[in-house]
Amino acid sequence: MSYLERFRVAPGTRVKLKNIDPTFKDPKRRKQADEELEHYKKRLCELQEMLYAEQRHALLIVLQALDTGGKDGTIYHVLGAMNPQGCRVAKFRQPSAEEAAHDFLWRVHRVAPATGEVVILNRSHYEDVLVVRVHNLVPKNVWSRRYDLINDFERGLAEHDTQILKFYFHISKQEQLARFKDRLDDPSKQWKISEDDYKERDFWDKYMAAYEEALWRCSTEYAPWFVIPADHKWFRNLAVAGIVVEHLEGLKMKYPAPTVNIEHIRSEYHAAKKV
């Protein structure tokens, strides 16, 4: 079974994250994982160039996870293979005053990819049904209506030929704690850690419930969610790379035909060489 099929949340599926093993990995692939990942990265670069040249589709990649889930690592180790000329990363933090003065989707729509472009969202519009819900930042009758608004927003992008792939990196509570310790012990990572990171662990079950509803309500044919077991970084990277590559290959993209007379230019080139 392909990664695309294995980890996709079928529309209408009520996901129970406690039944999904975050430590899952494919032991058969471990020995050749690095080689396989390099193959995927090379292919991803080729497909992105074709996307950019063809100018028929756009690609929006959504990354969601609890702290240390692997969003930054995936961008660096997998998606960083793409040419930055046609790829952007948008990171979402607490809304600015300007953003808070608009509807919650305004800041996301502003960074949506243009035709031929790839945009990666490091956190996204789903924060408005996750952290907002967990911490009661708005009433339930407000955030509960946002699932339909999100689906409508994503449907609108899809109808404009934007491909949407959404990844939730599923890590265990124990692995998160181990990664926090790594940050504490590594001077190059200490800037990433804060007391609030540990306090958020008290809301773990509430986050799981919030993610489960988002996965159930918002995994659609045009904007599917994928739950990626993420305790093993190498397997997380491999799965994401495989899914993106397989999806782009399914578009059957082609380089556009030349808009000039190639043979005429070739003859001009040979004539210039003789001078």
Q: Residues 252-255: contacts with CB within 8 Å, 24+ apart?
A: 253/47, 253/50, 253/51, 253/54, 253/56, 253/57, 254/50, 254/54, 255/50, 255/53, 255/54
Domain hosting 64: range is 3-274
87's tokens: 């790829």
Q: Provide the residue-wise pLDDT of the chain in tens; the chain has 275 residues.
A: 789 999 999 999 999 999 999 999 988 778 899 999 999 999 999 999 999 999 999 999 999 999 999 999 999 999 999 999 999 999 998 899 999 999 999 999 999 999 999 999 999 999 999 999 999 999 999 999 999 999 999 999 999 999 999 999 999 999 999 999 999 999 999 999 999 999 999 999 999 999 999 999 999 999 999 999 999 999 999 999 999 999 999 999 999 988 777 787 787 767 777 76
Q: pLDDT tens, 59-84?
A: 999 999 999 999 999 999 999 999 99
What span, in angstroms and rounded, lies between the C-alpha atoms of 50 and 119?
Answer: 16
| CATH code of the domain covering residue 173 | 3.40.50.300
What stretch of H or E contains 39? helix 33-54
What span, in angstroms and rounded, lies between the C-alpha atoms of 31 and 234?
Answer: 11
Q: Whole-model pTM?
A: 0.94
Phi, psi at 64, each rounded to 5°: -130, 145
Question: For the chain, how many structural domains are there in total?
Answer: 1
